Amino acid sequence: MAPRGFYSLIPAVRGNWSRPDHRSFYGTLSQKITIYRPIVLFFKVLIMDSTQHAVLTDTEHPPVLIQPRNTQPRENAMTKPYAKLDKNNAAVLLVDHQAGLLSLVRDFQPDQFKNNVLALGDLAKYFKLPTILTTSFEQGPNGPLVQELKDQFPDAPYIARPGQINAWDNEDFVKAVKATGKKQLIIAGVVTEVCVAFPALAALEEGFDVFVVTDASGTFNEVTRNAAWDRMSQAGAQLMSWFGVACELHRDWRNDVEGLGTLFANHIPDYRNLMASYSAVQAASQGK
Helices marked H in 164-268: 171-179, 197-205, 222-235, 242-250, 257-267
199, 105 contact by CB (below 8 A)? no
Question: How many Å apart are CA 146 and CA 57, to the nearest integer?
Answer: 69
Specify whether 247 is catalytic. Answer: no
Per DSSP, 144 falls in state: P
Catalytic option among 124, 159, 195, 196: 195
**Sheet of strand 238-240: strand arrangement:** 158-161, 131-136, 90-95, 184-189, 209-213, 238-240
Please enumerate in sequence order all residues whose Cβ is within 8 A of that of 149, keeping only pairs 6 or more positions apart, or say none.
94, 97, 117, 118, 121, 133
Question: How many Å apart are CA 132 and CA 130, to the nearest integer?
Answer: 7
Give CA 9 to chain center in angstroms.
54
99, 125 contact by CB (below 8 A)? no
Please enumerate in sequence order all residues whose Cβ is within 8 A of that of 159, keeping only pairs 6 or more positions apart, or say none.
132, 133, 134, 135, 167, 170, 172, 173, 176
* DSSP-derived pairing of the beta strands 184-189 and 90-95: parallel
Sign of the torsion formed by the C-alpha atoms of 179, 183, 184 and 185: positive
Per DSSP, 158 falls in state: E
Q: Which residues are the active-site residues?
A: 195
